[in-house]
Structure 1
Amino acid sequence: MPAYEYTALNNKGRKKKDVISADSSRHARQLLRDKGFTPLTVSQVQDRNRSAKKSVGFSRGISQSELSIFTRQFATLISSGLTIEQSLDALLSQAEGHRMKTMLGGVRAAVLEGSTLADAMRRYPSHFPEIYPATVAVGEETGRLALVLERLADYNESRQALSQKIVVALIYPVVLLFVAVGIVVALMTFVIPKITSVYINAGNDLPPLTVAMISISDFIRHYGLWVLAVLGTLQVAFLLAMRKPALKMSWHRFKLKLPWIGRLIRGLNSARMARTLAIMTQSGVPLISGLKASSRVVGNMEIRNKIQTATEEVGKGASLNRALARTGYFPPVLLQMVASGEASGDLDTMLEKAASIQEQELTTKIQMFVGLFEPLMILFMGAIVLVIVMAVLMPIFDLGDMLK
């Protein structure tokens, strides 16, 4: 039974958007009227999704956390012996988000029409990354769909855990930086002018440090908003420039050359590639297809292009270890473990271990950065406050010397 997305008015006159299963659009409207709704628009989910792709070029997908929860629940239902249709029915009945309901309704409708689950997922590329239909297709063919879904759930949860570790580690330094800048701006904008105005009205010669502080304060008060406007304009211009592939590629190459940030970017993308390739090879996906899908989870365009070049070399008969080594962006530990996995025939296990090592190393580096950033920021703030205090007190010291 196909799924239909509708917009209707309830008995209180409020609009409601949801998904309903029906034999036809007319049947869907009748079901809505039976529930006391006044249907406004009713459209089949998969048709609407296709037209959206044609007219807009993209559609907004579900979040990483929603995808993780969906995959884990789907794997649990399949493992318990339910069919794909029954599992999708159960997931659809308890789905809450509008995008989640729309996606589940469309996948369910496609499966009921005779499509495989993998083909149904391919209709929603904004919701399911390429790793999903590729591994699910193998799981359906081999009868190991539950195992594949379990691995996909583990894969998503590990990626989400790594992202959360990075975000949590960086929240405090970012907040501390903004608070520090805010305090300094507040002092220079409101406090310094009131104090220094007394010295200026007195007509005495002021120390160079105080004069400089007054000049900085005047600049912030008179041109601060203009500076913010210029910074905002530069930010918008940068985002627009990043839409051009050539400029974006140059920026990504530049980031890889930065002393400390470049290593973090290489480590993060290496872990993503290894983790994705590991689950795809474990699920039985051919190595070439796995490499193609793995390149798409890499955020840096330069590394992505290098992986695509390595994929072509592997397709011509080169070993994965040598192809990745020629890119120059993968750490020696990962390359050695890949070489060991190729020699022993246990590539998927070695890739998974390499990904875990890279993720642990990345987490350690970020924690080290945070540990160094906190005392440095405190020292920096202390130095700025000291300079401000000295600029305020030096005229008083000079006045005391004159009275003596």
Structure 2
Amino acid sequence: MPTFSYKARNGSSQLVEGVLEGAGVGAVVDVLRGQGLMPVDIRETKAKAEKAVGSSLSLFTPKITHIDLLLFSRQMHTLLKSGVPIMRALNGLQDAAINTEMKRVIGEIRESLEAGRELSQSLARHPRVFSPFYLSMIRVGEATGLLETVFFRLFEHLEFERFMREQVRSALRYPSFVVLAMAVAIVIVNIFVIPAFAKVFAGFGTELPLMTRLLLGFSGFMVAWWPALLVGVASGAVGFRSWVATASGRCAWDHWSLRIPIAGKILHKAALSRFARSFALGTRSGVPVMQALSNAAQTVDNVYVAQRVEGMRENVERGESLLRATISAGIFTPIVLQMVAVGEESGAVDDMMDEVGDMYRQEVEYELKTLGQQIEPILIVLLGIMVLILALGIFLPMWDLGQVAMKR
């Protein structure tokens, strides 16, 4: 997600500076306005110094995980619903927190509340812990007086996010392991197995088949240049990580990942499910449509999809209907467009989008359950091709030599 440095003025016309993450400038503007700030200047920045400090501190302090935030939301809902005052609730959560970093953050939130700030403002002082979507929902809860309900909805949303991420990771784990195993097998065969056969073939004194010559040439290249190949692979990995760390590289990679056979459609459906659920949650809680779109863009976990959602927000801001903006985004399936159309006509967009989120969640679950059956034929074909190449390259010379010996 790109990082933006901003300058804004608060209600007292005082200049405020800071850094926020967002899918685009429009998303940052919405977050600042939601915090009661008037943007003056917003610029994209890599925030190298901040990342360097954060990485050095992370070596000594534990990170606040998704589970920590999920438990915090659930516990806050339970305490507030039971009538416990918010300061007392935070005090109890601070004492019960196992993660020392989470304990520190809750303590700073308490101090900020004691200084007269609102809860949303206190949480906004920790942008690495609480996302813009989380802050927006808390502001809605403060405005409507339904803070305990908002905390419960946030808990459900975070639980849904955790489930989707774990399912997608499990979907990609098996094919990644198989491809890695095949790569290791190719390296071992070319460095240790084929050179042993090369000594045998050298004594034949006849011209070897083309496939055998290709295998011997590739094996000799790997044996002679393996240090350079190792450096090249490492450099390629570092270069890829550096490229993905940039805004344009991340967007291009996320766009390409949606086109990966089999896995791409799972990632696409998972992103659409997250968007639909978060958008439905925002609109149902009273968040304006444009701000709900910006908040939903923060939760899709795909920069390309987030940018398309930001484009939807800009189209809606120019006066287009939600359906036309959804069509122009070019990332939604016909069934989503149909549900949006029905939702706009009936005035129940949140219910329709909630159903879309549930539908895609069920489809993702089904795709993950059948992933092995879908990938197995492809892996069998790849393994068969690899075995065929090795068999032709290694056994053809022996077969030809046997035929010559029989003729003699």
TM-score range (shorter-chain normalised) is 0.7 to 0.9
Give the secondary-structure state (helix, strand or coil) at the position aligned to 2:83: coil
2:222 is matched with: 220
Unaligned runs of 5+ in 2: 1-46
Opposite residue 230 of structure 1, the aligned amino acid is G
Q: Does structure 1 conserve the Cα–Cα contact (< 8 Å) formed by 2:70 and 2:155?
A: yes
1:184 is matched with: 186
Task: Report sequence identity in percent.
Answer: 29
Determine which of 226, 231, 234 is the counterpart of 1:232.
234
In structure 2, distance between residues paired with 1:288 and 1:380:
47
* Cα 1:315–1:379 shift into 2, 3 Å: closer
List per-residue Cα deviations over 1:54-90 (Å, max 9, x = no partner): 9627857622232222222222222233222222222
In structure 2, distance between residues paired with 1:55 and 1:223:
38
Q: C-alpha displacement at 1:143, in angstroms? A: 2.6
* Cα 1:90–1:387 shift into 2, 3 Å: same
1:28 is matched with: none
Give the secondary-structure state (helix, strand or coil) at the position aligned to 2:399: helix
- Number of residue pairs matched? 352
Q: Which moved more, 1:281-290 or 1:348-357?
A: 281-290
Q: C-alpha displacement at 1:174, in angstroms? A: 0.9
Superposition CA RMSD, Å? 2.8
2:25 is matched with: none
Give the secondary-structure state (helix, strand or coil) at the position aligned to 2:149: helix
Which one scores higher on RCO, CA 8 angstroms, separation ≥ 6?
2
1:157 is matched with: 159
Q: C-alpha displacement at 1:374, in angstroms? A: 2.0
Opposite residue 173 of structure 1, the aligned amino acid is P
1:127 is matched with: 129
In structure 1, distance between residues paired with 2:363 and 2:357:
10
1:100 is matched with: 102
List per-residue Cα deviations over 1:128-168 (Å, max 9, x = no partner): 11121211122233232121111111111111101111111
1:144 is matched with: 146
In structure 2, distance between residues paired with 1:208 and 1:75:
71
Q: C-alpha displacement at 1:395, in angstroms? A: 2.9
* Cα 1:297–1:392 shift into 2, 3 Å: same
1:174 is matched with: 176
2:389 is matched with: 387
1:193 is matched with: 195
In structure 2, distance between residues paired with 1:82 and 1:172:
47
Q: C-alpha displacement at 1:257, in angstroms? A: 6.7
* Cα 1:371–1:122 shift into 2, 3 Å: same
In structure 1, distance between residues paired with 2:355 and 2:200:
67
Give the secondary-structure state (helix, strand or coil) at the position aligned to 1:151: helix
Give the secondary-structure state (helix, strand or coil) at the position aligned to 1:216: helix
Q: C-alpha displacement at 1:243, in angstroms? A: 4.7
In structure 2, distance between residues paired with 1:200 and 1:336:
69
The answer to whether the aligner puts 1:357 opposite 2:351 as a matched pair is no
Q: Does structure 2 conserve the Cα–Cα contact (< 8 Å) formed by 1:166 and 1:363?
A: no
Give the secondary-structure state (helix, strand or coil) at the position aligned to 1:284: coil
- TM-score normalised over the length of structure 1: 0.77
Opposite residue 378 of structure 2, the aligned amino acid is L
2:332 is matched with: 330
List per-residue Cα deviations over 1:4-24 (Å, max 9, x = no partner): xxxxxxxxxxxxxxxxxxxxx
1:270 is matched with: 272
* Cα 1:266–1:375 shift into 2, 3 Å: closer
Opposite residue 309 of structure 2, the aligned amino acid is I
In structure 2, distance between residues paired with 1:247 and 1:184:
30
Q: Does structure 2 conserve the Cα–Cα contact (< 8 Å) formed by 1:121 and 1:132?
A: no
Q: C-alpha displacement at 1:289, in angstroms? A: 1.8
List per-residue Cα deviations over 1:97-126 (Å, max 9, x = no partner): 233222222112212222222111111111
List per-residue Cα deviations over 1:160-209 (Å, max 9, x = no partner): 10111111122111111111221121122112212331231454443333
2:50 is matched with: 56
List per-residue Cα deviations over 1:293-340 (Å, max 9, x = no partner): 122334444443332232233334432222222222222222222222
In structure 1, distance between residues paired with 2:108 and 2:393:
67
Give the secondary-structure state (helix, strand or coil) at the position aligned to 2:130: coil
Q: Which moved more, 1:268-277 or 1:185-194?
A: 268-277
Q: Which has more radius of gyration?
A: 1
2:322 is matched with: 320
The answer to whether the aligner puts 1:343 opposite 2:345 as a matched pair is yes
Give the secondary-structure state (helix, strand or coil) at the position aligned to 2:228: helix
Give the secondary-structure state (helix, strand or coil) at the position aligned to 1:124: coil
* Cα 1:262–1:210 shift into 2, 3 Å: closer
Give the secondary-structure state (helix, strand or coil) at the position aligned to 2:402: helix
In structure 2, distance between residues paired with 1:242 and 1:166:
19
In structure 2, distance between residues paired with 1:107 and 1:195:
69
Give the secondary-structure state (helix, strand or coil) at the position aligned to 1:228: helix
Q: Does structure 2 conserve the Cα–Cα contact (< 8 Å) formed by 1:165 and 1:363?
A: yes
Q: Does structure 1 conserve the Cα–Cα contact (< 8 Å) formed by 2:262 and 2:374?
A: no
Unaligned runs of 5+ in 1: 1-52
List per-residue Cα deviations over 1:34-72 (Å, max 9, x = no partner): xxxxxxxxxxxxxxxxxxx99627857622232222222
List per-residue Cα deviations over 1:342-397 (Å, max 9, x = no partner): 22222222111111222333444455554222232123213312332343333332
In structure 2, distance between residues paired with 1:334 and 1:304:
17
- TM-score normalised over the length of structure 2: 0.77
2:298 is matched with: 296
Q: C-alpha displacement at 1:213, in angstroms? A: 1.8
